[in-house]
Structure 1
Amino acid sequence: MTKKANKLLLEQLQNIAEGLGETFAPFCEVVVHDLRHPKNAIHGISNNLSGRRVGQPATELGLARIRDPEFPARISNYANTFSDGRSVKSTSIGIKDETGQYVAALCLNVDLTLFRSFQGALAQFTHIEDGRVHEHLDGTPAERIRARIDAFAASKATTARALSPTDRKHVVRALKKEGLLEIRRGANIAAAHMGVSRATVYADAK
């Protein structure tokens, strides 16, 4: 690859890096590496989270790509760590020239610290104490039944009508336990929403 072509490639990668960095700020650092110069491989950093500087040397992945053209072109979502101990999720994408040699890399580093704080806060907020009190505050009985089935289906990444027999039994028994099948036409409403017969709902509830 000529110097002019290499310069153009790095400029394009830097443009991509800046766009990604701006889009995913403040959580994601995007780094462009020039693997043709491993001793000062860092060509550009967008949304700098690691504290590294342009001109610093290649990482272990960069050196591995320089040594071996068969090294994987893309390694996604691997565990990493910033120098101050923050947990990071990284993705590294190698770029080859026309001869099949790695000449550059685009790397994304996501700081997981804030996300894990959110995760802990959400877990605490959504925690519910088990108890004997059951109360429904939402809509009509039919709406509650449909909403309960839809919520369960969503947790299985599917729809009410696409539930497997095992999952359908699970949600029907949950409806029964919560008293939703005892309301007027409860079994009919559940059956119609899942696209099965009322007899099937009765059988699943046993």
Structure 2
Amino acid sequence: MRPQKSIDGERLIAVFSDLVAPLGKALPASSEVVLHDLSRLPNSIVAIYGDVTGRRVGDPATDLLLQLTIAGDFDHQDAYETVLPDKRRMRSTTMIIRDVAGNPAAALCINTDLSSWIAVHDIARAMLGAVAERPEKSIPDAAAPVTETFVRDVEELAQQLLSTALADAGVPVELMQKRHKIAVVRDLRARGMFLLRDAVETVATALNVTRFTIYNYLNELGEDDDAPGDAALPHPKG
């Protein structure tokens, strides 16, 4: 399910890797520029400038980028808002870089911490005599923030995906029937969980079933040969 490497894609990634630092230096210090090699998902970060999210080269993609990859949604994502775990609001843009054949090769992301800008906005309104608004309403016409988790390792990403899917199921694992567990697996597949190494074992443990059961659930969901993104894991033999 992850995009495949290509010679032109590798060339583009090399070119954009050299542009990440100059672009980051041209932006305010509250911004971060990140380049993802989509063929390396989940540990896709190959270049980064800035420290807004605290990530480094070799760290994984966000849950949102995984989900868009699974859905094949490789359109640009412009100026969407996200919220960090410490409640800071960010404005993010993701540009998909395609090779000469039109296949997605990389994602160039710009994340800007809005905290200081919100504070300046509120001060300006107060100085002009306007009633100060609550910080979360300070940016006019702002769209509702997108849920996106910025993690520093695959284990943290896996736990985030699992906790979200289990919470959405609305049924404690110990009370789940087969239909509930299949629904959780379907949700996790859509979120890109099975792009992660050892995903089958991780999900099996969380749902109190064997990994063979997870493969059976995936087969029932229409993946007869390979669990999405689980190419590193051989399908178990009977």
- TM tier, shorter chain? 0.5 to 0.7
Look up the equivalent residue of 1:49 and give its one-letter code. Answer: V
State whether structure 2 residue 43 is matched by structure 1 residue 40: yes
Residue in structure 2 matching 1:8, options 7, 11, 15: 11
The amino acid of 1:115's aligned partner reads W
1:1-206 paired onto structure 2 within 5 Å = 5-69=8-72, 71-127=73-129
In structure 2, relative to structure 1, the CA distance for the partners of 1:104 and 1:124 (3 Å cut) is same
CA distance in 1, matches of 2:7, 2:51: 27
1:73-122 CA-to-partner distances (Å, cap 9, x unmatched) read 21111111223221000001111223332120000101100000001111
Deviations 1:21-55 (A, max 9, x none): 10113121110001001021011111121101211
SS in 2 for 1:62: helix
Q: 1:65 to 1:99 in 2, by over 3 A?
A: farther
Q: Is the 8 A contact 1:35 1:62 kept in 2?
A: no
RMSD: 2.4
Whole-angstrom distance in 2 between the partners of 1:65 and 1:95: 14
Structure 1 counterpart of 2:22, one-letter code:
G
Give the % identical residues.
29
TM-score for the superposition, normalised by structure 2: 0.48
Unaligned runs of 5+ in 2: 131-238
Query: What amino acid sits opposite 1:66 in the alignment?
Result: T
Distance (Å, rounded) in 1 between the aligned partners of 2:48 and 2:33: 6
1:132-179 deviation digits (Å, cap 9, x = unpaired): xxxxxxxxxxxxxxxxxxxxxxxxxxxxxxxxxxxxxxxxxxxxxxxx
Are 2:36 and 2:107, in contact at CA under 8 Å, matched by a contact in 1? yes
Larger gyration radius, structure 1 or structure 2: 1
Q: Distance in 1 between matches of 2:126 and 2:29?
A: 25
User: TM-score, normalised to structure 1's length?
Assistant: 0.55
- Number of aligned residue pairs: 128
Shift of 1:72: 4.3
Question: What letter matches 2:92 in structure 1?
Answer: S
- One-letter code of the match for 2:48? I
**Cα distance in 1, alignment partners of residues 78 and 29 from structure 2:** 20
